[in-house]
Amino acid sequence: MAVIGRLPYSIVIKIGGCLGALMFYFGGNRKQTAQINIELCFPELSNKKRKELVREHFHFLGIAAVETGLCWLAPKSEFKKLLKEIEGEEHLNRALEAGHGAILLSCHFTHLEMGSALLATHRSLSAVYKPHKNNPLFEAVMQHSRKGHGRLISRSNTRGMLRALRDNLPLWYAPDQNYKGQFALFAPFFSVNASTNAATSRLAKISKSPVLPFFQERMEDGSGYRLIIKPPLDNFPGESVEEDTTRINALFEAEIRRRPAEYLWVHRRFKTRPTGEEKIYPKK
């Protein structure tokens, strides 16, 4: 990762593409998970189209693996050059004027690491992350490398999130993975019941913070990345946590359908099932 972080961006992307091809052929359980997810979420596609989508996904997955080296270990002066455009930053500036922070609502595209890391080169923010408790070395490297990316907050540290919002910081937050904690509920995601973290609604209600969808995408010319900040969600939180969570899942689904190969399909999004429903994924 340290070596990759010091290579030119164009070379890093090519290395990632080659790595993705290898990952596709030796993908094992991850490849099977991606196939199951894509079959569930895109039943309208032919088998051929779904296989093509899986292959394309692994191409982006390989790029994501080497992008992490750029995010964590590239020289800051070089890394900043990859931020080519911020679309809609005026929405965030306007939201912060109220003094309650802002929740930057994102989801797990393969290049999600780039989103918060690049925004942190431009302005102060905080980010929610999942600690790697089973790999202390990886956790130590990640913590050290991400220190320059803003205030890091464990996803179980609700007080830390509220404190960041009280400090009028943007809070990067991605609640789209399988979740079975305190605030879990089932909400449709691509018409499949998915155990979802419903804390976004509660965070917004307690903190009075606006919720702004936030995504990143690669520039068409391959020169770097564009960050996209959308206007705050109207009437959020709404009348019920269930409606809010369903609304967020629908928002993510619409964004994923724009560029489906770039979403993180190797994650077991539907691992937790409603009572009485069969498991979707085979045992590892």
Strand (E) positions, the chain?
A: 83-87, 102-105, 126-129, 151-154, 170-173, 184-189, 192-197, 211-218, 225-229
What is the per-residue pLDDT for 76? 84
What's the CA gap between 66 and 12, in Å, rounded?
A: 7
Average pLDDT over residues 116-121: 91
Global pTM value: 0.93
What's the CA gap between 129 and 45, in Å, rounded?
A: 33
Listed in sequence order, the residues at least 6 apart from 108 whose beta carbon sits closer than 8 Å to its beta carbon are 174, 176, 177, 263, 264, 267
Q: pLDDT per residue over 246-262, tens digit each?
A: 999 999 999 999 999 99
Q: Is the pLDDT confidence value at 139 over 80?
A: no
Q: Is the pLDDT confidence value at 178 over 90?
A: yes
Q: Which of 6-15, 136-145, 188-197, 223-232 has the lowest mean pLDDT?
A: 136-145
What is the per-residue pLDDT for 251? 98
How does the average pLDDT of the chain come out, rounded?
92
Contact between residue 33 and residue 268 where contact means Cβ atoms under 8 Å apart: yes
What is the per-residue pLDDT for 148? 66
